[in-house]
Structure 1
């Protein structure tokens, strides 16, 4: 009886683990669905003023992600930074960040696009220059990225789009909560980095994985019930005998009869 108590406890633990894994997959699906909803609602929306969506310099407005905003200012080209290790269609490259100083003196970080790595992966061959003088830009908002412990970058480059690192280089109040992926520049330069790609609207296999983990937890109890019933049949002498055992018994009976 103690042995079966252990089996029951093990089955319960397994089922709980399956339930937690199912919940984790379901939560990932919810996040993916929310992200798709934001893309569908915001990506092709009409541009609005930056202040209409971001009230403070350090604000991170989740519902504003991917929404276009329009602003006018001057690029601080001397403070340009490259974000390393940014693949695009399996090719290695960099994102080009250039601070844009607005009319009120604040600075907003613009990701002007992607450039491929050069002959070595450490730097691009060239980076198209940002327009000089006053420029009007339309960008799609994105939250800044966190720091990755242990990952560094050489001078003039960043490991991630960590906006406080950009702000530390700029002698002006800087937006550190969100930055923008460039859509258009006016006046448009003759050459620009490659624009950001539209994100893929795919929720992934999380729903099927969540259901599979639930099924595994249920099957564990089904297996336990089957094992208990079989044990009882064996104890009562009503369990089916394996064919090999029956054949061996027949052979023994024939030998006894002959002797």
Structure 2
């Protein structure tokens, strides 16, 4: 079984064919999906999808793009929403300096609040980082000094240094369809050196469809293509890669039972 550890099933892209989409995921060997929160104001939509399907879980959080519009989300608010049995983590949160849709100081404050919720509950934090490696590492390091927490760098496409520091701090690395892209050889070189026991796979659907689905709407079934590429990079059989990454998922997302 494969797990799509990061997708956005509440997005409008999927509202017309969710049942069919989950059927295609099952046919591709994808047995579990995590639909990731990006706005507290729309959390009810994320949760409703998770409640509708037995093999869909979700997270609660504010994407860095939305940190300005969503206002100051406190740690206590995040923890309260995470009491629902289908909510298994916090995020996605982090820093995005590529677009700077929200003021950086608000992104940073929200990021720290999500980490604090992760620390207090033991649930993982899902980290988005783009063009912000130095500040991401600084915040993760400072927060780890306050107390341990778990988490994952989602859709990893950053520097080798960020990967290594994140692993040192006990975080996991999640890989998306980007590893299949023609221009991603530098990323693939880094991925070859990452420890298999700390890797997850994801789609980030509806975005970043892998080759050979490039240019199409991404969906959970397509994580099989990313997993196949990762198996090739790591020199293992696809079945072994599926087993390892799924075991990693359950080790990180401890609220989910097999």
User: Which structure has more RCO (C-alpha within 8 Å, separation ≥ 6)?
Assistant: 1
Scaled by the length of structure 2, the TM-score of the pair is: 0.23
Considering only CA atoms, is the larger Rg found in Structure 1 or Structure 2? 1
Which structure has the highest strand share of the two? 1
Q: Give 1 or 2: higher helix fraction.
A: 2
Q: Tell me the TM-score normalized by structure 1.
A: 0.23
